[in-house]
Amino acid sequence: MIRFIDVHKSYRVGGRDIPALQPFDLDIADGEVFGIIGFSGAGKSTLIRLINLLERPSGGRIVIDDIEMTALAEPALRAQRRRIGMIFQHFNLLASQTVADNVAFPMRLAGERDSRVINARVEELLARVGLSDHADKYPSQLSGGQKQRVGIARALANRPTILLCDEATSALDPQTTASVLELLAEINRELELTIVLITHEMDVVRRVCDRVAILDAGAIVEHGPVADVFLHPQHPTTKRFVDESLPGETAGEPVPFAGVPGHILRLSFRGEATLAPSLSRVARETGVDFNILAGRIDRIKDLPCGQLTLAMQGANIDGALAALRQVGIEIEELRR
Amino acid sequence: MNPLQELFPNIDDWGEIGQACIDTLLMLGGSLILTVLIGLPLGVLLYLTGKGQLRPRPKLYAVVSLLVNILRSVPFIILMIVLMPVTYALVGTKLGIRGAIPPLVIGAAPFFARLVETALREVNRGVIEASQAMGASLWQIVRHVLLPEARGGLFAGITVTAIALVGYTAMGGAIGSGGLGDLAYRYGYLSYKSDYMLVTVLLLIVLVQLLQMIGDRIVARYGSH
């Protein structure tokens, strides 16, 4: 468990304190994939660096598994850092070392001298990330996706309990992003590793995260399970992120569907309800008519979910709404 | 008649030229090794204590930086004369190869230290941050990240320094340190035997060319991948 307790951070620039992160509390549970999303300058890369104390907080405490990181002296802090892997947007591999030596590097830093132990572990890690054939290459000979896989193998070398991902897919094309995210999800499942990632792409959050925090101008404005945040964004910044991940959505219109008659409803489905033919059954039973104005079906991590915007007409609208709510569909009435 | 004699009629002892070459190479080799041994840690110190670096120490940096600049701004021939008492105290003579090495090192080490500082600043900050995240100590970062990652720039710096040292050794000849510069000065300049001058200049050109070629090879081999 990673706990932030009343943590804040400001930078001293020219004799003045410029706040980077407003005081906040946050708990990240063991084994979850926690996303932090924000625009550039929101403070997300500062936030993720507070976890391994690459950035020191200006106040507050950071506690990982009952160890107060902020109270550790330098040697103890270095020992704790070995239990926290980190991968980076620009990979940050040693250009002068081969792939195998890059992966072995954290083990050597930790004092492992036995080359048989190192070689066996490197082989195992490269197999996991699918780069067994590239052990003797140099980073400059690899593609971006391959470099990030080396970064992941390196981050896992000392069997960490936490993996920090600093915009790990931001420099990659969409296909490569998908495969790297898949690898991260697999690692999370199989190694029961806690993953904290920062990103500016809602799509990354949607694909791999269990929970998400939205960071805006140094403040966590919203956080919760991804499906909740995704289907019911509260803060304007969250809404922007959700909208940006939905091409063709009519978000932002002051009066949506002004010319359409009837009740305008937004239905949110998740899990089993998404795939059941509830809408047509309820319409048949209650005698209402509906017209689909907008909609989408998504997967949030492994959970299917969807949202439909409807115009509904008929005598028994209230009955229809009650019947829909009964099967677990959430309804927002946009216009009565 | 030997064709060399025909070409350079004033040179009657080629053995002397051979000895001068060996002396120059000994001065160069000895001073280069010591320059690297002193300049490398000095350059690392400058890098680490610089503004925004791993161990910023503004005052220490300012003092070391000033000292380096002072030593670099004194022309070598003057430095050599000024340092004579120091040289005598260090090696027991002001003359010959031994007498030449202290001023050569004191003149070249600050120059090399600056080249080291510049080469280290070229190392990607992200890689340093990554090694910090892996729990590397400062020494581990210097030893296993900074120096290997900067090795292309460091080898290029050693090459430039070696070539500068060739020039310094030749100047040293004027005040009795021996070697090719001494030969050119005594015979070529003071005795008007211009063929001595020509031969030593040609040999120095060859030496500089060789150093540059070797340096470029090493940089290409161990530089960036």
- Beta-bridged to residue A220, according to DSSP, are A215
Q: Does A70 touch chain B (CB under 8 A)?
A: no
Tokens 């070529």, located at residue: B188
Interface subset of B 155-174, CB within 8 angstroms of A: none
Confidence band of A254 (pLDDT split at 50, 70, 90): very low
Structural domain boundaries enclosing B119: 15-222
Distance CA A214, CA A304 (A): 22
Task: Domain count for chain A, please give it.
Answer: 2
Q: Considering only residues A291 and A108, tell me which one the structure prediction assigns the higher pLDDT.
A: A108
- B5, part of any domain: no
- Does residue A278 share a domain with residue A231? no
DSSP A1: -
CATH number at residue B63: 1.10.3720.10
Tell me, what's the pLDDT at B62? 97
- Does residue A304 share a domain with residue A219? no
- Does residue A292 share a domain with residue A158? no
Using DSSP bridges, classify how beta strands A2-13 and A16-28 pair: parallel, antiparallel or unpaired.
Answer: antiparallel
Q: Residue A164: list chain B partners with CB under 8 A.
A: 133
The verdict on ipTM greater than 0.95 is no
Question: Which residue, of A191, A210, A244, is where some domain finishes?
Answer: A244
Distance CA A94, CA B130 (A): 9
**pLDDT tens-digit profile of B101-150?**
999 999 999 999 999 999 999 999 999 999 999 999 999 999 999 999 99
- Does residue A85 share a domain with residue A231? yes
CATH number at residue A6: 3.40.50.300
Residue A103 has pLDDT above 50, yes or no: yes
- Does residue A280 share a domain with residue A214? no
- A275, part of any domain: yes
Distance CA A160, CA B130 (A): 15
How many other C-beta atoms are found inside a 10 Å radius of the C-beta of residue A164?
24
Tell me, what's the pLDDT at B7? 76
CATH number at residue A325: 3.30.70.260
Structural domain boundaries enclosing A288: 263-335
- Beta-bridged to residue A61, according to DSSP, are A5
- A251, part of any domain: no
**CB A261, CB A312: distance < 8 Å:** no
- Of the CA atoms within 13 Å of residue A262, those in its CB half-sphere come to 20
- Does residue A270 share a domain with residue A236? no
Q: Average pLDDT of A287-312? A: 84
Element at B25 (helix H, strand E): helix B14-49
Tokens 């956080």, located at residue: A223
Residue B9 has pLDDT above 80, yes or no: no
Using DSSP bridges, classify how beta strands A211-216 and A59-64 pair: parallel, antiparallel or unpaired.
Answer: unpaired
Tell me, what's the pLDDT at B48? 97
- Does residue A275 share a domain with residue A157? no
- Does residue A234 share a domain with residue A307? no
Task: Domain count for chain B, please give it.
Answer: 1
- Gap from A45 CA to chain B (nearest CA, Å): 13
| Mean pLDDT score across all residues of chain A | 91
| Mean pLDDT score across all residues of chain B | 90
Cα A173 from chain centroid (whole Å): 18
Tell me, what's the pLDDT at B101? 92
Tell me, what's the pLDDT at A248? 52
- Does residue A208 share a domain with residue A168? yes
- Beta-bridged to residue A270, according to DSSP, are A305
- A144, part of any domain: yes
- Does residue A175 share a domain with residue A323? no
Give me the DSSP letters along B69-97: HHHHHS-HHHHHHHTHHHHHHHHS-SSHH
- A150, part of any domain: yes
Using DSSP bridges, classify how beta strands A2-13 and A59-64 pair: parallel, antiparallel or unpaired.
Answer: antiparallel
Q: Does A255 touch chain B (CB under 8 A)?
A: no
Burial class (CB in 10 A: 0-12, 13-18, 19+), B169: buried
Percent above pLDDT 90 for chain A: 65
